[in-house]
Structure 1
C-alpha cells in the first residue's frame, strides 16, 4: 500500500527559476502539493548548476538518480510515492517503466511544459521556410514519442489551450487524460502598485539563451525591428536580458544604437516594471511564454506575434498588439510607447487576462480536484485507457531489455 501524501518529482534538470520559465513552472507545481502536506522528493540524473534552486532550503528532499541503472528500482521502492511527476516526456521515457514496475499504484503525472515535438517541428519548418501544418507534426518521430508518453501517464498537464485543442481534436486523446493548467500567478488586486506611464522608459526583451526561439527573436530585433524603432524613437533603448546568452548575442551589444545586451536579469520583475513596452517577435515555438505573462504581471504592455500570444488569451483582447508583419510590429511598438491612453488600456487588459485565466488559487484547486478524482478511481481510469496500457506493455518490454543491456555494458 502506498504512503499517502508522498510526491516524487523526476526532473530532467534541476529547476532554475531565475533562468527559465520551466524552472518557475516546476516551483509553482511543487508549492501546490507542499500546501497539501505532501512530503516531496525531487530527483534528477543531471548535475546541479550554480543557478539551480536550493531545493532543501525550500523544504524539499533531493535525490541523485542514475539513468539505465537498477539502483533507481531500490530507491523508488523504498520511497514508495503516492504520486510521481515527470517534468518532461524525456524523463517519462527513461524512468516511467521503472515506476510502473516497482510502484504500480502510484499516480503518474506528466508535466509537458510545452509540446516539445510541436516546438521542434515548427523550428524545422521555419528553417526550411515552409508553412507549419499539423500533418508535418503528426509525421515527426518526436511527436509519436511525446504522444506515447502522454498515453502512458494517468494525467498530463497541458500549458496551452492551443496545445489542448491539438491533442483533443487532431489526435483525439480522451480529455480524461489531460488537464489544461497554465502558469499560476497571484491575482492583480487594486492594491497592486505598478509604475505609471511617466515612470517608465525603454523597451525590453527577456529570454534564455538555451531556447532557440529566443535567439531567433533577438536576431530579428537586432537586424530588422530595432533599427526601425530606433529611427522613430532615437532616445529609447532596447534592453536584452537572458541567462546563458551565447557569445554571438553578447557581441550584438551596441550603446550607440541603444541595443543593450545585459545577460542574466537579477530580478525579472524589477526589469519588467522599469520598461514601458515588452517586445517579443517570436517566429516559432510552443507552449505559453513566461516573458509575456511576466509582462502582464508587472503592468507592461507587449507587442508579440501570433506564435508568441498563442494559447494565452482565449477570447479576450491582448494586452498590447499581436503583429506578424515587421512594419506593423514596429508601428504598434511606437504607438504603445508614445500614446498614454493606449498604453494604459493595454496595461489594464493585462490585469484582466491575469485575473481571468491565471489566478493561482483557482488553478491549484482544479489540479488538486483532478488528482483526488484520479486517485479514487485509478484502476478504472487505467482500464479505460487501453491505448496507454498497450503502449506500457510494449514500451516496458523494450525499455527494460535496452536499459538492462546498457547497465551491463556500463558496468563491463
Structure 2
C-alpha cells in the first residue's frame, strides 16, 4: 500500500470553512485510490477539527524549523506528499526533497493567495482615494508582488498543483507561464444527491450571510453589508432580517448585532446547510478574494437563490446559460436585486430550479475524483519522465530550496541556543 502524507496549514475544520470541507474531499479521493493516509500539521489542535482517526487517517503533530521532521519523514518514506497551501511547501519542501526525493510532490493551492492579496491591495487603494460603492471586478494590478514570486515558485517546484478555479488555471498559464502539465483543475467535489424536497418560496424567510470571520474577504463583506447595503435593502423592506453566520466571530463582528435594524449576528452555525436552506435569499457581497466561494456552493445545494458580485461569481458558474445567482457590480444594483429576488416568486423559482443542478454540472465528485486519481496514477508510474520536461522545477528546487533550508536551520539553531540559555544555571 502506498503512503500519502498531507502537510496541513491547519487541521481540517469542515464546519468552519469551505477549505476544511475541500480537504476532507481530497482525503476521501486518496482513500478510495488505496493510499495509507497520514495528516500532519504544525498548527495547534482545534476542538472543531474533524476526527481523523474515525476516518482511518493517522494524525501527526509537526514542528516548524526542527530536524525532528527529517527523522520522521526519513522513516515514513511517503510515496506522495501533499502540501496544503504554498506556505507549507516553503517550510517543509526542502526537507521532503532531501530525505525522500522520489516522493511525488503535490500542492493544493486552495485559492491563489497572491491574487486575493492583489485585489485587497487594489480595494484599499481605491477606498483611500475616496472611491466608494466598489463591487465590480477590479483591474488586474499588483499581481507581481513578493507573494506572487513565492507562490508561483512553490507551484513550479511541485510536480502538480491542484487549482480550484478555471480562472486561476488560465491566469497561471497566461501571466506566469506555468506549464499546463503542472496544473490540474480540481474544484469542490460533492456527491450528486437525488432530487430532494426543499422548502419552497413561502416556507422560507429572511436573508442570510455566512462565512468564516477569520477569512478577510468575509469580514469585509459583513462590514460592507452593515454599513452600505443593508440600509438600502431595509429602506424597501423595513421588516426584513439578515441573519449573519460564521465561524470564529470576533467582538468587532458581534458588536454589529442590532435587532432594531434587523441585522442579527448569530455567529457559529451548527449546520450551515440548514441555515442556508431555511433562508429565502443568500447575500454574498464579496469585494475581493480568489478561488471558489463555498457559501455559493452551499446555496446551490440548498436551492437558495443568491445575490453576489463578479468576485463571488468568478469560477462558479462556468458557461451556464441559465443563471443560478444574480450578479451586481454596484451597491444600488445589489440592493435592488436582493429586494426583487426576495419579493418576486417567479424569479425566485427560476433561480431555485437552475441552482439545484449546479453540483451535477460543475462539481460532481465522481467526475473530478476520477480525474485526480487518473493523474496521480500517471505521475506515479513515470515521475522522472514528468520532471525531465520541467526545467524550472529542477532549477528552483536547486536554488530556492537551499535558501529556505539555511533560513530554517538558522532559526532552529537560534531556538536551540535560546533554550540552552534558559536551562543554564544562574550565579
Give 1:104's aligned residue. Answer: 101
Which sits farther off after the overlay, 55-64 or 108-117?
A: 55-64
1:28-67 Cα offsets, whole Å, 9 max, x none, are 1001111222111100111112212221122210111111
| Alignment RMSD (CA, Å) | 1.3
Give 2:188's aligned residue. Answer: 183
Give 2:312's aligned residue. Answer: 308
Measure, in 1, the Cα distance between the counterparts of 2:37 and 2:95: 19
Task: Tell me by how many angstroms 1:352 deviates.
Answer: 2.9
Give 1:310-325 correspondences, 5 Å limit: 310-316=314-320, 317-325=322-330
Give 2:130's aligned residue. Answer: none
Normalised by the length of structure 1, the TM-score is 0.96
Which sits farther off after the overlay, 399-408 or 258-267?
A: 399-408
Q: Is residue 37 of structure 2 the alignment partner of residue 37 of structure 1?
A: no
Candidates 69, 77, 80, aligned match of 1:80: 77
Task: Tell me by how many angstroms 1:370 deviates.
Answer: 0.8
Give 1:344's aligned residue. Answer: 349
Measure, in 2, the Cα distance between the counterparts of 1:117 and 1:232: 39
Give 2:220's aligned residue. Answer: 216
**Contact 2:8–2:83, Cα closer than 8 Å, also in 1:** yes
Task: Tell me by how many angstroms 1:384 deviates.
Answer: 0.7
Give 2:399's aligned residue. Answer: 394
Task: Tell me by how many angstroms 1:135 deviates.
Answer: 4.8
Measure, in 1, the Cα distance between the counterparts of 2:227 and 2:409: 51
Give 2:234's aligned residue. Answer: 230
Structure 1: unaligned runs, 5 residues or longer: none
**Contact 1:320–1:336, Cα closer than 8 Å, also in 2:** no
Candidates 346, 368, 371, aligned match of 1:363: 368
Give 2:22's aligned residue. Answer: 25
Task: Tell me by how many angstroms 1:96 deviates.
Answer: 0.6
Measure, in 2, the Cα distance between the counterparts of 1:296 and 1:318: 11
1:180-221 Cα offsets, whole Å, 9 max, x none, are 11111121433x221111111110000111111111111111
Give 2:259's aligned residue. Answer: 255
Measure, in 2, the Cα distance between the counterparts of 1:397 and 1:249: 43
Give 1:17-166 correspondences, 5 Å limit: 17-129=14-126, 132-138=138-144, 140-166=145-171
Give 1:244's aligned residue. Answer: 248
Measure, in 2, the Cα distance between the counterparts of 1:318 and 1:90: 36
Q: Secondary structure at the match of 1:9?
A: strand
Q: Secondary structure at the match of 1:14?
A: coil
**Contact 2:281–2:304, Cα closer than 8 Å, also in 1:** yes
**Contact 1:97–1:395, Cα closer than 8 Å, also in 2:** no
Measure, in 2, the Cα distance between the counterparts of 1:378 and 1:194: 47
Give 1:375's aligned residue. Answer: 380
Measure, in 2, the Cα distance between the counterparts of 1:410 and 1:334: 58
Give 1:317-336 correspondences, 5 Å limit: 317-336=322-341
Measure, in 1, the Cα distance between the counterparts of 2:174 and 2:118: 19
Distance 1:31 1:227, change over 3 A: same
Q: Is residue 293 of structure 2 the alignment partner of residue 289 of structure 1?
A: yes
**Contact 1:237–1:260, Cα closer than 8 Å, also in 2:** yes
Q: Is residue 179 of structure 2 the alignment partner of residue 174 of structure 1?
A: yes
Distance 1:123 1:378, change over 3 A: same
Task: Tell me by how many angstroms 1:105 deviates.
Answer: 1.2
Measure, in 2, the Cα distance between the counterparts of 1:334 and 1:396: 54
